[in-house]
Structures are given as structure tokens and as C-alpha cells.
Chain A
Amino acid sequence: MTPLLDVRGAVKSYGAVKALDRASLTVDAAEIVALLGDNGAGKSTLIKAISGVHALDAGTISLGGAAVAFRSPLEARAAGIETLHQDLGLFDNLSAVANFRIGRELRRPAWLGRLALLRERAMQEDWLVQLERLAVDRVDARQEVGLMSGGQRQAIAVLRAVAFAGRLVILDEPTAALGLRESAKVLDLVRRLPERGVAVVLISHNLEHVTQVADRAVVLRQGRTVGEAAPTAANHEALVSMIVGAVPRTAAGST
């Protein structure tokens, strides 16, 4: 079966620093893959390449069997890929609804193009429906996001990525700023995405969370894909070893 996403031999350098050094990653349709690795392992660089933020120096990315080279995030979005970046990409000066709909505002009449009037009420009603899916309390639709708590901000960013994804959603640390209860809700939302036919690439430092939702865990180290394993509780130790580079099978140097 052709994988939904197939990244091969990905190379990306920033000056003298090689962030990606022949990394690879495959994701099947409606599969949840955890992307693990220590800080600086190249996770964020890899997902930025997939989501069209920057281009690879070498290597290929195919989506549904066809090679793609996104020149902008807009092109990746058009192909059905949504991304939650680590910085959330929120607009502190805009309301929750405006953030949720940014770049995809409902408007009319169509012939006015980008000078068409915003359909605020319709966007707000839709927002309430989405909010219910994540069951986040106390997010005032009209309030500026800059005035909200870290958890509320993260919830808005997660919802935005998840709601509009057609084929693949990439989540970079979606539970980083969340408490226990809120994390559980986000994980629940992630787990239900395959039902909609949406695959997930999940980056998380929390192995507990990975175990709960991921079908497969892929480990990056120093820009390379160094292994993968089923994210079960029994495999935790093996995964941690791969992440930090003390690979048990080489025996030498590992304790």
C-alpha cells in the first residue's frame, strides 16, 4: 500500500549546522505516528519541511504517492495538511474566532473578493460547534487571545489545526501548556481523527501521551531516523535509549 506521506533522505542545513541528515518518515492514511527525539534532533525542522514553511536541501516528500514540493504553507494547506507549530502561531490582538478562522474567513458577497464583508455571526456559530468538540470551557469567542490563559490559547491553536485538516495534521507539542484534564481532551480529539480519515504526526516529549494515542513511534536523533517501535509501556525504555542514543543492540557504551 502506498503510504499517505513518504519523506525520504531529507537534508536541511542552517549554515554549518545540519538539522536534518537523510531523515525519513512514512505515515499511512489515518495512522497516528509519534515523532520522537531530543531537543535539536530535527523534529521541528522535518515538520516545517512537510508543512511548506521551508524547503529541503535534498530529499523527497510524496503525498499519496505523488511527489510534492510545497513552496509555501498555503500550498501544504491546499493539499490537506494542517500544522500546529510549537509557537502556536496565534494572533494575540485578535479574538478567538478570528484566530480560528484566520486566512479562511467566511465572507460575502463573493464578487468583492478580499474586500468582501466578514460573516461574523456565521463564524461565531461555527466556532461554538467546534468548541463543543473539544469541550473547552470558558473561551469567550470575542475576547482577544492575548488575554487568555496558556491552556485556552493552546486549545484554540489545536482546534484550528484539527478542524481544517483534510488528510494530515501535524501537531508539535499539542499538550505542552495544558493541565491533566485539558491534555486528556486534546488526546481524545487526536485519537478520533482517523475516524475522519485524517492521519496525525504527533511530536511530544510526553511518552505517556504518545503511548495513549500513537500507532507507531519514529525516533530522530541528530537529524537521522534512528529507529521505530510500537509505543507500548513495555517499549518505553527502548524508545528512551534510541532518543538519547544509547542503542541497546550495539551493546557497547550502553549501561
Chain B
Amino acid sequence: MTALRVLQAGPLVILMLLAAAMALLSPYFLTGRNLANLGFQASFVAVLALGQLLVIVTRGIDLSVGSVVGLAGVLAVDATAGASTLLVFAMAGLAVGLANGSVLVWGRVMNPFIVTLGTLGIVRGLALVLSDGQTRTGLDPVVTALGSDSVAGIPAPVLVVAALSAVIGGMLSRTQWGRWIYAVGGNPDGARRAGIPADRVLLSVYALSGLMAGVAAILVAGRTDSASPLAGQLLELDSITAVIIGGASFVGGRGRVLNVLAGALIIGVIRNGLDLLSVSPFWQMIAIGALVILSLELDVVRGGLETRLRASRALEATA
């Protein structure tokens, strides 16, 4: 039982250990400026990972979120000024998410990997076509404020992540819909037989993942005050990495917001810390890749522990 608890808290423990190690190795790591920088970087991944978590809990995956970051920026840079620019970002993301979900649910292509691999290409292509491959600068001040301002030393994107985490975390753990998301991930057939509208649950998680990608696009564009059709490339993989390092299970039904945030921060700390130590980015890729495999291994170990626990219970019951 205690071993299980440790594994469930694993991502937070790994994060602490990594941060402590970096703090020892580099005197700059714990400076306010560096931590703010880390916050900006990790926030993109964190926002995407929140959406990705919902999808992965239902046994799915969303490979299109990085492309959405590119497309939403391209659409928004030409859009009307003011707060409605934010709406353009959000709607672009939501539209792609709804498209993913619709194809999955009604198109009867029950393979999210293939569907979102398709939209990854389509959406990135659209961004390139619409922008003619050009990066444009000059976004609405609301966008740059959200992406690059700080409030009392805390980067605005970090506050955005905190707010979204509270909303999504609350939805997952405290509402009926959140319970149903876990149910659909845990036993899709059982969920349908229990009268849960599994199709609508699936549609909603892809829609939310798209919406999160739209929000991440605001932060990315606001940070650089520009909209590049290539923005967000490979961020989909970072978001999946964060969710898996955060201990969510690829077979569905498991995953918690707090651990996913830890996962996003772990990626951030590794990149930031190794940068400070002047380690080549090539090695960073290797380090993060190794961590992904290690996380999956921990998931396997947890599964084994659970089986043993169940077996001992069964013996107890018959004794």
C-alpha cells in the first residue's frame, strides 16, 4: 500500500529531486529571473497537457494540438482587435477539437492516433497556406499582455495555467461529467451499458483539448508578439510526454491534474537546468526521452503491485 502511494506521488517527488539537483549544480537556477523564465516556457506545455490529459484518460490521444498553436496564431493575427482576438484563438482551437471528436465518434474511425495524425497535417498545412508561409508580427496588446507580462513577479501564463488547472481539475474530480470521463476511460462498454453518453463524453474531451491548444496559442503568440505558421511544432509530443511523466496511464482511466503539471514542470526543469549547465540540447532530448520510458516502467511496476495486492486480498477473503 505504501509503495503504491509513493508511486502515485512519484511525479512530484521526481520534480523536487530534479529541482534540488539543479539548484545545487547551478547558482542561477533559483533566481527569480530564471524561475520566471522557466514558468513562461513550461506554461505552453502545461496548458496543452491539461487538454491532452482529458483525452488520454479516455484511452485517446490528440496529436493535432501543436498544429493548432500554429493555425490559431495565423488566424488571429489578421482578426479584429481587442478582446475578440482571444475569441478567435479559442474558436480556432475548439473547431479543430470538435472536428477530431466528430470524426472519431460519428465517422466510426475509432482510432484517435490516426485521426489526429491526419488533422496534425491538415491543420499545419492550413496554417502555412493561409499565411503563405510568412511569420507576421504585431498582435493585439491583450495577447502580448497574457503571453509576456508578469503580475507581482509571476508570469501571466503561469496564472493562466493555474486558473485552467483549477477549472479542469475541479471538473475531473468533483463533477458528474468528470466522473464519466474516468468511467469511459476505465470501461467504455460498461460505461455505455450504465447509460453514460460515452460518445458525447469523447466529443467533449477532444473539444476541450482543442480549446486548450487555442489558449496555448495565445500564450505562444503573446510571448513572441508574432504569429508563425510553424509555431508549436512538436509541442504535441511535449504535451503527451508531460501527461505520461505525470503518471497517467495510456490504457486509460488514470491521470491527475496535479501530476500532469508536475510532468510539464519536469520537462521545463530538465531543459532549463541543462541550459544553465551549458549541456547541448541534443542531450536534453535524450534525457527527456529516457524519462518517458522510465515513467512507463513505473506504470508497469504500479500495475504489478496492484495485482499482488489484489491476490493477497483474495487469499484473505477465502481464509
Contacts and interface: CB of A to CB of B under 8 A. Distances in A.
B316 to A, nearest CB: 7
Contacts of B196: 102-103
A100 B201 CA distance: 20
Interface in A119-176: 138, 146-152
Interface in B238-288: 252-254
Contacts of A116: 175-176
A28 interface: no
A98 interface: yes
Contact of B187 (A91, A147, A148): A91
Contacts of A72: 192, 195
A83 B194 CA distance: 10
B317 interface: yes
A107 B180 CA distance: 13
Contacts of B306: 146-147
B2 interface: no
Interface residues of A, number: 35
Contacts of B189: 89
Contact of B174 (A114, A117, A138): A117
Given A115-B177, A147-B306, A149-B317, A92 B192 contact: no
A92 B195 CA distance: 17
A53 interface: yes
B159 to A, nearest CB: 23
Interface in B158-194: 171, 174-177, 179-180, 182-183, 185-187, 189-194
Contacts of B31: none
Contacts of A43: none
A74 interface: yes
Name the prevailing secondary structure of the B interface residues. helix
A118 B175 CA distance: 5
Q: Chain A interface secondary structure, helix, strand, loop or mixed?
A: loop
A93 B253 contact: yes
Interface in B65-101: none
A179 B316 CA distance: 12
A92 B175 contact: no
Interface in A38-80: 51, 53, 72-74, 77
Nearest to B315: A149
A72 to B, nearest CB: 7
A12 interface: no
Contacts of A152: 313, 317
A89 B190 CA distance: 5
B303 to A, nearest CB: 10
B3 interface: no
Given A53-B193, A92-B253, A148-B310, A179 B186 contact: no
A146 B310 CA distance: 8
B182 A85 contact: no
Contact of A92 (B180, B187, B194): B187
A97 to B, nearest CB: 11
Contacts of A103: 180, 194-196
B309 interface: yes
A105 interface: yes
A140 to B, nearest CB: 10
A90 interface: yes
Given A147-B309, A148-B313, A91 B176 contact: no
Contacts of B310: 146-149
A85 B193 CA distance: 10
Nearest to A145: B186
A247 interface: no
B254 A93 contact: yes
A94 interface: yes
A117 B317 contact: no
A46 B193 CA distance: 16
A94 B252 CA distance: 12
B183 to A, nearest CB: 5
B151 interface: no
A53 B192 CA distance: 9
Nearest to A146: B306
Contacts of B316: 149
Contact of A93 (B176, B185, B317): B185
Give the 3 A-B residue pairs with the shortest CB-CB distance, closest first. Answer: A93-B253, A74-B195, A93-B186
19 contacts: A53-B193, A72-B195, A73-B192, A73-B193, A73-B194, A89-B187, A89-B189, A89-B190, A91-B182, A91-B190, A93-B182, A93-B185, A94-B183, A102-B196, A103-B180, A112-B175, A114-B175, A117-B174, A147-B306
Interface of B: 171, 174-177, 179-180, 182-183, 185-187, 189-196, 252-254, 306, 309-310, 313-314, 316-318
Interface of A: 51, 53, 72-74, 77, 83, 85, 87, 89-94, 98, 102-103, 105, 107, 112, 114-118, 138, 146-152, 179
Given A72-B195, A91-B182, A93-B182, 20 more contacts: A53-B193, A89-B187, A89-B193, A90-B190, A91-B187, A91-B190, A91-B253, A92-B186, A93-B254, A94-B182, A98-B183, A102-B179, A103-B195, A103-B196, A115-B177, A117-B175, A146-B310, A147-B306, A148-B313, A152-B317
